[in-house]
Chain A
Amino acid sequence: MKKWLQVSRPVNPRAKLILGILSFVLPVALWCLVSYAPAIWHPQVLITDPGSVSYLQPGMRMDRSAFDGAAADAQAAHMPLPTGVPSNPIYLPAPDEVARAFYTSFTTAPETRDGQWLHESLWHSIQIIFWGFVISSVIGVPLGVLSGAYAPVARLTEPFIEFFRYLPAPAFGALAVAILGIYDGPKIAIIVIGTLFQQVLIIANTTRKLDGALVEAALTLGAKNSQLLRSVVIPAILPDLYRDQRILLGWAWTYLIIAELIGTTSGITFFITQQARFQHFANVYAAIAMIGILGLGMDMILALIGRQIFPWDRGLVKTA
């Protein structure tokens, strides 16, 4: 144990893999335990046979104390007893139900005529994220690099950005609808507002951390101002900038649900709210998990690409 918990001690590759798997297995195991061991929690009873109790129906869930009361009443009246199995509340489906929902939610037709299939919803959400992130980056990356490289630019922009980043993006929802309508415009705008200001500050900071000796070396080699930015500053920070962008993309995903609630609810959010309304909670969990899988998957692909396009970067070796 002493060997394991030592500050800054690296973990060997096998242990790393095992720990990585455990980090997913442990929460799922806990969920299984709560779902499949009737002794643990299960505060409700799922009615299998209403017996003589008129207000019960098969498939109904009720609190255990209420069920016990009904059963006691029936016993006192010498009538057939209701039967049921201990169950969890409907908002906590078992892992197998959610696993099944992963498949069935794709094969189930939309419940309403104007509804979308799940894959259409997901695709719509991905497009919102994509455009929000692209627009934010087109403004944020150059502004961040310039702020980091040139102190006057930083002094001019950063105080306002520092102020603005404390404003919660959803607060601009109503405004965005008024300006951009009710469809995708305001949703993309919310993601831009949520991402852009952090992006400028983070990238400016990354640019500022650039090793000054590299700039000085370039100066003594005859590089001039714009050349310095183009052929030293930008290539030098590129791997870190790429890492920042990966983190910021994750950030953009967390704004997705709020963004999609603005104006007409759309995308995966529409699917989730719709399924919750019909109490198909397994589908809700599956959809939420899908967002996580999409986000994590995309980040892993980007990390892989990063390793390919920056073969000289040592930072990735350290963090990987």
Chain B
Amino acid sequence: MAGSLGQRVRRLTGTSAAGWSAARGEPAPSGPEPGASPLLDVCDLRVRFRSRGAVVNAVQGISLTVEPGQTLAIIGESGSGKTVSAYAVMGLLPPSAQVSGSIRFKGVQLVGRSEKELQEHRGRNAAMVFQNPERSLNPTMRIGTQITEAIRRHLPLDRHQAHERAVELLRMVRIPAPERRFYEYPHQLSGGMRQRVVIAIALACQPALLIADEATTALDVTTQAQIMDLLLDLQHELGTALVMISHDLALAASYAEEVIVMYAGRVVERAAAGDLFGSVRMPYTRALLGAIPRADVEPHMLLPVIGGLPPDLSTIVPGCSFAPRCPDAQQDCRREMPPLEEHETGHWWACWHPCEGGQGGQKEAAP
């Protein structure tokens, strides 16, 4: 990510001109309302990058919706386009990125907006928490100053009010002794505490959408559970929609309501978390699930694995992008790309030869 740390913090918090009181006064939607338009509506989003003469098709036509207050998980391997999609929603892509398709936030089109207009969007509408809290915080500034800087830049509060607000935010993310922590530097906090500070900054303007991009990947498993609990509690309190981006299927299954699986820039399966993990249809999702070491299997069991590497995104080959690695691939898989369709209520998949329901990830290879 380019830009100074200060800019980055500002990006995190946005540049909304609206007052804090206005932000607070708005009723927070508590859950998906039937008939209401989705909070976020992404339609056929495509992102291309040019690098050294080659064109990298990082995102190849994804469509998704996020309802107010929903928890959505986007999972996939490195390079599957999940982070690029999130950056597109935040308006954080570099100018070199070619974006097409439509991203509507509360009905307002975001694609093609100027940087200044996008700054209005960031923070007020959507905020993002990144993987590495060390890189999101300025090491030379007290954490309190970093929060008040963000608050005072966007909200008409004086120093005293901003201080109070920052302490309140620190208390909200369950940092003990927030009055004292306010004056500490990032290096005096542990990784989990730093990520709490980043979450506090992200929530400073009460955004309707919070994107957590691998927010717990760098943390220990116990801290990860604490941060995920915090995010879900805050989401419940504030009515924020949460999009968690992760490579960890188990984490997504444990915390999200709905899961989107991405592979090579496309959505390959989408379902409610319970449905997806109960009845996997896409062989790729099955492979991902099967590869997770589990505490309930006997030691020294071999994990079912698939070979190969994700495809090169600079060349577009016909057919399903997973076909070269897919154990169930047949002739037609290599000829034509399967469309993402809703085959069962609430369960979408893009596969010509889906797995039978109920066998996902449960198969174990012989030792």
A-B interaction? no
Interface residues of A (CB under 8 A from B): none
